[in-house]
Amino acid sequence: MNQQILLTRVSEVGKRYANRQILLTRVSEVEELCANRQILLTRVPEVEELCVNRQILLTQCAVEMEASQGSVK
């Protein structure tokens, strides 16, 4: 999967969840929910596609969180 597209999608999820704490919680849930795609679809529809490569997703989300903390303060 194209990492640039992935980053864009992760950014979109960040915007959807204005509260970054909620985003972080959802992303940490993704790892467990990956085993059950139907639950994942119910929880975070946009992330289901990204679940194809969840390690990149989680890594990029961590980067997104780190970057946002500097600008949100």
**Residue 43, domain extent:** 3-67
- Asked if residue 22 is part of any domain, the answer here is yes
* pTM > 0.85: no
Q: 36-65 pLDDT, tens per residue?
A: 555 545 555 555 555 555 666 667 677 777
Residue 68 has which token pair? 């946002």
Mean pLDDT score across all residues of the chain = 60
Domain total of the chain: 1
Q: How far apart are CA 72 and CA 56, in angstroms?
A: 23
25 falls within a domain: yes
